[in-house]
Structure 1
Amino acid sequence: MPPHRKIADENNDEVPPRTGLETPLAIVFLVTAALFFVSSIAATRALGVFIVLLALVQYRQGRIAYGWEGRPPSGYLTGVLVTVVSAIFSVAGLALIVWPEVAISMFDNGS
C-alpha cells in the first residue's frame, strides 16, 4: 500500500498500518508460552528474545501508539522517544536472555 494512503476503520478513525510481522511475532509468542511448560529458564530467555524483537519492530516503525485499548490511538511517540523506549525494551530483553535466573527469582512467590 502506498505510504500516502490512510487506512480507516468503519468509524473513519485512522488505523496504524500493518507491518507484515504480525504472524511471525504471534508464532514466537506461542512458542514462548509453550516453553513455560518445559523449562522456565528457556521460556524466560525466549521471552527476552520476544521483547527484543518487539523493540526492533517498534524502532523500525518509527512511532509507538499510545492510548486506551479498543479506541483509536491518542497519539504517537516519535523521533528520539521511539529510540529511547526501544533501547530500554531491548536492554530489558537482553537482561532476560543473559540472566533468566534473576528474573525468575524476582517473580517467584516462594513456592
Structure 2
Amino acid sequence: MILTISLACLIALIFGAIGVLNTLASPKARELAAETGFSVAAYRRIGVLQLAGGAGAALGLAVPPLGGLAGVGLLLLLAGAVIVHLRKGDPVAKFVPAAVCAVLVASYLVALSA
C-alpha cells in the first residue's frame, strides 16, 4: 500500500506540475509546442489531460477503478509523446522522460491492482 501511495503522489506531482505549465501556456510550453508542431491550444488541451490524469491517479487511492482509468489514459498520452518524438527523429534523450514516466505509471497500475 505504501508503494501505491508513493507512486500516486509522485504521478500527481509530476503530471500536476507539467499539466499546469502546459495549460497556462508557459513560455517553455509554447516553445515545446512549436518544436513538436502542435498549436498552443492543442498543448493546453494536453495539459488538461495531464492534470486530469494526475488527479485521477491520486483519487485512485480512494476509488481504485478511477486510478486505473487515469493510469491507462496517462499511458496512452505518454505513448503519443514517444510516437511524436520518434516521428520527428528526435534523439533518445528527448523521449526518455516520457518513457520513464510510462514505467512509473505502469508500476502504479501494477501496485494498484495488487
Scaled to the shorter chain, the TM-score interval is: 0.3 to 0.5
What is the TM-score with the length of structure 2 in the denominator?
Answer: 0.43
More helix by share: 2
Structure showing the higher strand proportion among its residues: 1
